[in-house]
Amino acid sequence: MRLVLASTSPRRRDLLARIGVVPARIDAPDIDEDPLRGELPRPYVLRIATGKAHAVPRAADEIVLAGDTTIAVGRRILGKPEDEADLRRMLALLSGRRHHCLSAVCLIGLDGKARTRLSDTVVTFKRLTPQEIDAYVASGEGMGKAGGYAIQGRAEGFVRFLAGSHSGVVGLPVFETRAMLMSAGYPFG
């Protein structure tokens, strides 16, 4: 059995390596990640993870693993910021507030069936000053990240409270992923 990672994220590769998993192949899925009109955060992140897994070709001896992470503030989905102004808007919205980091995993097993798991982590940011927002935007760290922040970087200093999966906020919930791989018969050393 060979594992295909449907992601080019170096964070996901690093998180898999922490549990002794090295994909046999990495393939970048090409799907539209825009939310559907009226789509809620949970169905959205599960749909995107599943879409990524199905977008990658799979041989008979391969299983495919894909993940997606999004930030939800109420019913609002915060994807990756489009520009610095969008990043500022996201950080201002998250400032002093509780939000959910939803991280979905989809595994297509040898039987061709897709199975999903969802990790929901509650994160609360401290109230951010305009200077903290300016400095974080200037660092460039939040660009390309769901919700406009990287918890494994400078933004960890903004986190006042976290309940759930730290690795899920980084980009792949390790506990759920390992359980799925084990149930698929992946050979852990």
Q: Which residues are catalytic?
A: 68
Distance CA 107, CA 145 (A): 23
Instruction: Enumerate helices (H) and strands (E) in the chain, giving the number of each.
Output: 6, 7
Give the H/E segment covering residue 13. Answer: helix 10-18
Nearest-10 Cα torsion for 32, 37, 39, 44: 0
Say if CB 153 and CB 76 are below 8 A apart.
Answer: no
